[in-house]
A and B are shown apart, each in its own frame.
Chain A
Amino acid sequence: MGWYIFKRLIQGIITVWFIATATFFAMHSVPGDPLLNDRAVTPAIRANLEAKYGLDQPLLTQYVIYLGNLSRGDFGISFTQENRQVNDIIREHFPVSAILGILAVLFAALGGVLWGSLTALYRNRLPDYIIMFLVILGISVPSFVVAALSQYSLVTLNNAVGQTLLPVAGWGTILHMLVPAMVLGLSTMAYLTRLMRSSMLEVINSDFVRTAKSKGLPPARIFTRHQVRNAILPVITVLGPQIAVITTGGFVVEIVFAIPGLGRFFVEAVQQLDYTVIMGTTVFYGAFLVFMVIVVDVLYGFIDPRVRLK
């Protein structure tokens, strides 16, 4: 197991290096540069700035310097924001995104497993039809629509009650987190519900569930120990990448609910061609995704013994 984790970590580092390299060259091949946005830069000032940031160096030299900094965990200084280290931006804003993401994933995973199992057990009966209809809705309605609608409902609710039950936007307490997390996790929950349903249907008709029934076990025990435990495996497989997708893809929800997460900086940096922030956030997100996949693979080994030994 230790060797397996070590091997996966080495693979992960190679993947992250690949992401860093691809991002670096993709970004530098885009027309324009970070200084373009500034007002009336004279050629002399421009040359000074380029020298300061190392933009006058050949691309390969820049790449080597960049890799050197990266290996020391230094993402550099932001081009567009005064006096801010990219590391500081990530340190301040990623925890917000991460908490929101984790809540959203928990909501999505619990809901997905529960609704998926229910629809499978009630296959082709009313509960199945209702939940599957909502699932299609959850997958196809974009998150900014759901976010706006839920904000509108919150306002109506708070007005009706006459006090603020749940805040409409902002960040701080657990109450601020609930609704955005649900909105953020909704489409993933819908996706996981479908996945869980089909995998549960397969398990329900499997030979070992028939064996469990022939042993005379109570239905609750068959459900938890024989059905869910096997049906949940594909859900866990996609959970790792989904955690990363949710955590990094939350900027729409972050903007609608005025949440100070990392997503907003990511998008703004791309718009302003802020090289260091783009590189920093991309590599950081890439590393985060790779790490989550490894975590899930290790977790998988604990649930499915067949993976553990290999």
Chain B
Amino acid sequence: MSEALNLANNPMLLEVENLAVEFDTYGGVVKAVRGVDFSVEEGKTLAIVGESGCGKSVSVQSMMGLIHMPPGRITSGSARLRGEEVLGRNELNGKEIRGAEISMIFQDPMTSLNPTMTIGDQIAEPLQVHRGLSYRQAFGEAINLLEMSKIPEAAKRAKQFPFEFSGGMLQRAMIAMAISCKPSILIADEPTTALDVTIQAQILDLMQDLQKETGMAIILITHDLGVVARMADEVAVMYAGKIVEHGTVDDVFYRSAHPYTLGLRAAMPNNDPARQHELKPIEGSPPDLFAPPKGCGYCARCPFAMEVCDKHHPQDYFLGDHHFSCCWLHHSDSPTKPEELYFKENS
């Protein structure tokens, strides 16, 4: 797949291939991520969407070395930053990967910052460790970063503790901390889920502004399709530990080629009175990842499921340079071609 994506002739900043992660639990082995491929271009935003438990957070956290091992385990796969393997490594060409090359912000800013350290100290930390700045220099830089993140009275705010900040402010501080060492990739793991809607918009704006300024790539993990439409260049739709559809935002939203993407769209509210429709939930629940299905994971909930779906896993069918769908309906022998779905013109 990655060869095909590379046809766009753009060198990929980060390429993740066939990543698989398992967890040992008392109930058995959970196959949380079952072979995931994605890639990010410099300065672009990739959104990974999917419902809770589909493995979107685990795949990026395993890449960052943030899952506890044991019980977690990366069973296969590689992640290459500018062509060099980063899985299981801390440094790349003398530069720390975590915090310096790739940094991350999290879902709940209220609990993601150390309650006993000032905001400024926490932002200064990576600068002291990765760039060798003195405490005083790093703290000064932290104030600049807070200003960049549009926090008023940054000098005063830097001396305050997390409990003196609101949720939106804390997420700004998290962003300031994440960009402190000018990383080439910012991973945002549901950055706006814990915030209210007006603050969400501000945080997303801030991320876009900073992306323009610094040219970093963003991997945005979310289950909010509204956020995806606003932020992303490319979208990967994940289900049950696999990517089921991948493409540009327009591909995924206007030329949805996988029944699951279709289901997600039908379940999304919209505020256009002309198109008012009842929200259609996706019936059933995701498959048991203790014993993942042999065939397509979505088969049991899919309105278009065929016999083959249950027995064999489909391959990725390419519908464009970047656009693929992992669904048997795109096989040339498929008996039906539901009109809701997008198909390759000449097939």
Contacts and interface: CB of A to CB of B under 8 A. Distances in A.
A214 B111 contact: no
B115 interface: yes
B129 A218 contact: yes
B106 A207 contact: yes
Interface string B102-117: 0110101001111111
Contacts of A211: 104, 106, 112-114, 174, 177
Among B65, B66, B125, B126, max chain A CB count under 10 A is at B125
A226 B114 contact: yes
A305 B116 CA distance: 6
A46 interface: no
B114 A230 contact: yes
Contacts of B116: 229-230, 303-305
A4 B140 CA distance: 33
Contact of B115 (A215, A217, A218, A230): A230
Nearest to A230: B116
Q: How extensive is the interface on chain B, given as a class?
A: 20 to 34
A216 B66 contact: no
Interface in B49-99: 64-66, 68, 90, 96-99
B130 interface: yes
A305 to B, nearest CB: 4
Contact of A217 (B108, B111, B118, B125): B125
Given A214-B66, A215-B98, A216-B97, A305 B163 contact: yes
A215 B125 contact: yes
Contact of B117 (A207, A214, A216, A225): A225
Q: Do most interface residues of chain B lie in helix, strand or loop, or is the interface mixed?
A: loop
A216 B129 contact: yes
A218 B118 CA distance: 19
A303 B114 CA distance: 12
A293 to B, nearest CB: 21
Contacts of B290: none
A213 B98 contact: yes
A230 B161 CA distance: 14
Among B111, B116, B126, B129, max chain A CB count under 10 A is at B116
A208 interface: yes
B236 interface: no
Nearest to A221: B129
A214 B114 contact: no
A206 interface: yes
B125 A214 contact: no
Nearest to B65: A213
16 contacts: A206-B111, A208-B111, A208-B112, A210-B106, A211-B104, A211-B114, A213-B64, A214-B103, A216-B97, A217-B125, A217-B129, A221-B125, A225-B125, A230-B116, A305-B115, A306-B115
Interface of B: 64-66, 68, 90, 96-100, 103-104, 106, 108, 111-118, 125-126, 129-130, 161, 163, 174, 177
8 shortest A-B CB distances, which residue pairs? A216-B99, A216-B98, A215-B99, A207-B111, A214-B104, A305-B161, A216-B96, A207-B112
